[in-house]
Amino acid sequence: MSLVAVGTVAIDAIETPFGKVDKISGGSGHYIAWTASNFTKEVKVVAVVGGDFPMEEIAQLKERGVDFEGLQIKENEKSFFWAGKYHMDMNSRDTLVTDLNVLAEFDPILPQSYKSPDFVLLGNLTPAVQQRLLDQLENKPKLIALDTMNYWIQDPQFRPALDKVLTQIDVLIINDEEARMLGNHHSVVKCARKILAEMGPKFVIVKKGEHGALLFHKDHIFFAPALPLEEVFDPTGAGDTFAGGFMGYLDMTQDVSFENMKRAIIYGSAMASFCVEKFGPKRLMELSIPEIKQRVQDFIDLVQFDIEVKN
Amino acid sequence: MSLVAVGTVAIDAIETPFGKVDKISGGSGHYIAWTASNFTKEVKVVAVVGGDFPMEEIAQLKERGVDFEGLQIKENEKSFFWAGKYHMDMNSRDTLVTDLNVLAEFDPILPQSYKSPDFVLLGNLTPAVQQRLLDQLENKPKLIALDTMNYWIQDPQFRPALDKVLTQIDVLIINDEEARMLGNHHSVVKCARKILAEMGPKFVIVKKGEHGALLFHKDHIFFAPALPLEEVFDPTGAGDTFAGGFMGYLDMTQDVSFENMKRAIIYGSAMASFCVEKFGPKRLMELSIPEIKQRVQDFIDLVQFDIEVKN
């Protein structure tokens, strides 16, 4: 088993109605590493950081078995920096600052040991960086998943590259707003079906934040709820955590059937429900396996019912 | 088995992005009767209409076994009239006209045969009318459910009567916005728990439209999704249809356990998913039992997954 994940490893500043933090570790690659390493011991990260990133957190991840041979460290430069502010309903946020820093020139070079993974997760980065990673693979992985965002969907400068990379992946993971942009229709269901029919991915996962997630494949739809929480403390990284849990579970089980993807989505949702409980990745950093098992059981209890339809 | 339902029987004018209808039958009592009569043959309606209501629809409902002894017909007056307009996302609507007409002086008088039902559904009306119905019951029903709305929650003229009637019911059925108003907090989960702890109901159902419904009871939460539809044609009456399916199923099964309420919510959600497919109650009027069974199976397929958590 092995999961290669490319993403950002960043410094974030976060403000929510419950508090504020000026400097905390973050980035899609960071959340994916913390999450997926609960499931598979073969997480291989491709990313770039500056000298300002707290390297003791990388050391902690290495202790969990995460492979950072693909991490480029630019000692004299600054890490990617993102600052955002959430409002009371937590479904909308304002991006206050995006400083690309080391990310501006990022070329994801794969070490030899990364070139034949079972699973690949392309975290949200420019389509060109995602493509560059795919171009270095020496064997076709069991499954490639990709996350993307509004910038690359809407900007005609990036869209052709995104369209091209979409034809080479298996699972597209996006939120409902991004699905509407990509499918160019207000109905998320229509957009997901259009993406499946015309754009390349064989599976589309639409994340709806506190309203759960939908998995589309052929004519099938699976719905996973989000856990109803009294408070969402900080949603930063929840989407990356979901993706990390989903792909970590798939790599652990080595099973890419639709039935197993349902399970992977429940595990991803469970992990995301932890992520939002504290600032940044803090809750993920203290998480135990029994807690994860209990949370998955909570999801089972939340949606399980027993109806036998008789004809 | 028997279900007494009080509600409106009304004329609606509806505009959606897909079309417009100037005059169509509607009202909570009408939707409840069409829906619940698929499950139980003892639906007893308490309502008032004017001479303008299409009585052939009442005749159709009578053929299905619905009892209208409690329907007051004011030949020379006009029925309650509601006009509304929906926007593209279908989650928000503008009420354009509300003419109370016959509803202004409505006194829900229970025929003797209505006074000892197994189940009571208090559709959305003034808390005083809901209270008046409860005061005429001669035996304690197995279960009383109540729907209400923003007017009665927010207006200090009505709120004390609402608070009083809430102490006498078992199940409160409201939408997420109403839950937030009643619980006075942005978190729906906190509000539902506050209602359970302080206001009287032993079960709270929070309807979230296209995002499904939550059932709260003691420390338990059950979540039922809405069916992901390509298009919602007209959401009018979906909430009443949900309540009618929920209560009709409970009356049919005569089982008020939490496990059976989960099933009832799935049946209610299935019925609501039909309601939104055509204008007003049209889809409900042509519905067959095999279609309902297939739709419930669709809900099972939508959320079913198979995870065994090992310790």
Predicted confidence (pLDDT) per residue in B84-127, tens digit: 999 877 777 899 999 999 999 999 999 999 999 999 999 999 99
Cα–Cα distance for residue pair B146/B120, rounded to 1 Å: 8
Please, what is the angle between helix B258-275 and helix B238-253, to 10°? 140
Q: Residue B25: pLDDT band by 50, 70, 90 thresholds? A: very high
What is residue B90's predicted lDDT score, i.e. its pLDDT? 75
User: A-side interface with B, Cβ within 8 Å?
Assistant: 88-89, 186-190, 193, 208, 211-212, 214, 220-225, 228-231, 259, 262-263, 266, 290, 293, 296-297, 300-303, 305-307, 309-311
The answer on pLDDT for B208 being more than 90 is yes
Percent of chain A residues past pLDDT 90, beyond the cut: 95
What is residue B110's predicted lDDT score, i.e. its pLDDT? 98
**Across residues A249-264, what is the average pLDDT?**
98
What is residue A231's predicted lDDT score, i.e. its pLDDT? 87
Q: ipTM of this complex > 0.85?
A: yes
Which residues from B are below 8 Å from A211, CB to CB?
Answer: 208, 211-212
Which residues from B are below 8 Å from A88, CB to CB?
Answer: 186
Cα–Cα distance for residue pair B209/B176, rounded to 1 Å: 9
**Strands of B203-207's sheet, edge to edge?**
B67-74, B43-50, B3-6, B119-122, B143-147, B171-175, B203-207, B213-217, B220-224
Q: Which of B196, B298, B309 to mutate to probe the A interface, most A CBs <10 Å?
A: B309
Q: pLDDT tens digit string along B209-234? A: 999 999 999 999 999 999 999 989 99
Amino acid at A5: A
Which residues from A are below 8 Å from B211, CB to CB?
Answer: 208, 211-212
- Residue A105: CB atoms within 10 A of its CB come to 10
Token code pair at residue A89: 């309903």
Token code pair at residue B292: 């309902």
Q: Residue A235: pLDDT band by 50, 70, 90 thresholds? A: very high
Which residues from B are below 8 Å from A297, CB to CB?
Answer: 309
**Across residues B123-146, what is the average pLDDT?**
97
Question: How far is C-alpha B95 from the geometric centre of its chain's CA atoms?
Answer: 18
Quick one: closest CA in B to A227, which residue? B223
B228: CB partners within 8 A, 6+ apart: A188, A189, A214, A221, A223, B302
Q: Which residue has the tokens 């709806």?
A: A208
- Residue B167: CB atoms within 10 A of its CB come to 9
The answer on pLDDT for A90 being more than 80 is no
What is residue A93's predicted lDDT score, i.e. its pLDDT? 87
Cα–Cα distance for residue pair A262/B307, rounded to 1 Å: 9
Among B187, B230, B296, whose Cβ lies nearest the Cβ of A189? B230
Cα–Cα distance for residue pair B311/B309, rounded to 1 Å: 7
Measured between alpha carbons, how far is residue B250 from residues B36, B144, B284 in Å? Answer: 10, 11, 19
What is residue A71's predicted lDDT score, i.e. its pLDDT? 98
Q: Residue B55: pLDDT band by 50, 70, 90 thresholds? A: very high
The answer to whether position B165 is within a domain reads yes
Q: Using the beta-carbon criterion (under 8 Å), do B307 and A301 form an inter-chain contact?
A: no
The answer on pLDDT for A91 being more than 80 is no
Question: How far is C-alpha A271 from the geometric centre of its chain's CA atoms?
Answer: 11
Which residues from A are below 8 Å from B221, CB to CB?
Answer: 228, 302
The answer to whether position A308 is within a domain reads no
- Residue A240: CB atoms within 10 A of its CB come to 31
The answer on pLDDT for A89 being more than 80 is no
Which residues from A are below 8 Å from B208, CB to CB?
Answer: 211
Q: Using the beta-carbon criterion (under 8 Å), do A263 and B307 form an inter-chain contact?
A: yes
Q: pLDDT tens digit string along A61-87? A: 999 999 999 999 999 999 999 999 998
| Segment (H or E) for B72 | strand B67-74
Percent of chain B residues past pLDDT 70, beyond the cut: 100
Q: pLDDT tens digit string along A114-163? A: 999 999 999 999 999 999 999 999 999 999 999 999 999 999 999 999 99
pLDDT, greater one: B241 or A17:
B241
The answer to whether position A311 is within a domain reads no
Distance from CA of A289 to the nearest CA of B (A): 10
Percent of chain A residues past pLDDT 70, beyond the cut: 100
The answer to whether position B50 is within a domain reads yes
Structurally, chain B folds into a number of domains equal to: 1
Residues B150, B155, B158: CA angle, nearest 5 degrees = 100
**Across residues B132-139, what is the average pLDDT?**
98
CATH number of domain containing B185: 3.40.1190.20
The answer on pLDDT for B305 being more than 80 is yes
Q: Using the beta-carbon criterion (under 8 Å), do A223 and B259 form an inter-chain contact?
A: no
Which residues from A are below 8 Å from B301, CB to CB?
Answer: 220
The answer on pLDDT for B311 being more than 80 is no
Distance from CA of A170 to the nearest CA of B (A): 21
**Across residues A182-203, what is the average pLDDT?**
97
Exposure pattern of A107-144 as b/e (b: 16+ CB <10 Å)?
ebebeeebeebbbbbbbbbbbebbbbbbeebeeebbbb
The answer to whether position A161 is within a domain reads yes
The answer to whether position A189 is within a domain reads yes
* Contact indicator for A68, A58 with CB cutoff of 8 Å: yes
- Nearest of A38, A67, A98 to residue A247 by alpha carbon: A38
Q: Which of B263, B305, B306, B307 to mutate to probe the A interface, most A CBs <10 Å?
A: B305
Q: pLDDT tens digit string along A158-175? A: 999 999 999 999 999 999
Quick one: closest CA in A to B294, which residue? A309
Quick one: closest CA in B to A294, which residue? B309
- The mean pLDDT value of chain A amounts to 96
The answer to whether position B309 is within a domain reads no
Residue A155, CA atoms < 13 Å, CB-side half-sphere = 11
What DSSP string runs through chain A? --EEEE---EEEEEEETTEEEEEEEE-HHHHHHHHHTTT-S-EEEEEEEETTS-HHHHHHHHHTT-EEEEEEEETTSPPEEEEEEE-TTSS-EEEEEEE-GGGGG---PPPGGGSS-SEEEE-SS-HHHHHHHHHT-SS--SEEEEE--HHHHH-TTTHHHHHHHHTT-SEEEEEHHHHHHHHTSS-HHHHHHHHHHHTS-SEEEEE-GGG-EEEEETTEEEEEPPP--S-----TTHHHHHHHHHHHHHHHHT--SHHHHHHHHHHHHHHHHHHTTSSTTHHHHT--HHHHHHHHHHHHHHH--------
**Across residues A95-115, what is the average pLDDT?**
96
Distance from CA of B260 to the nearest CA of A (A): 9
* Contact indicator for A129, A115 with CB cutoff of 8 Å: no
The answer on pLDDT for B266 being more than 80 is yes
Residues B83, B85, B89: CA angle, nearest 5 degrees = 150
Residue range(s) defining the domain that contains residue B79? 3-303
Report phi then psi at B86, rounded to 5.
-100, 150
The answer to whether position A30 is within a domain reads yes
How long, in residues, is chain A? 311
* Contact indicator for B34, B9 with CB cutoff of 8 Å: no
Distance from CA of A110 to the nearest CA of B (A): 35
Q: Using the beta-carbon criterion (under 8 Å), do A223 and B225 form an inter-chain contact?
A: yes
Percent of chain B residues past pLDDT 90, beyond the cut: 95
- Nearest of B5, B2, B1 to residue B240 by alpha carbon: B5
Cα–Cα distance for residue pair A268/A162, rounded to 1 Å: 24
**Across residues B145-163, what is the average pLDDT?**
97
Q: pLDDT tens digit string along A200-219? A: 999 999 999 999 999 999 99
Q: Using the beta-carbon criterion (under 8 Å), do B305 and A263 form an inter-chain contact?
A: yes
> Is 0.90 surpassed by the pTM of this model?
yes
Which residues from B are below 8 Å from A306, CB to CB?
Answer: 259, 262-263
Cα–Cα distance for residue pair B212/B216, rounded to 1 Å: 14
What is residue A299's predicted lDDT score, i.e. its pLDDT? 96
β-pair type (B81-86, B67-74): unpaired
**Across residues B159-186, what is the average pLDDT?**
97
What is residue B92's predicted lDDT score, i.e. its pLDDT? 78
What is residue A133's predicted lDDT score, i.e. its pLDDT? 98
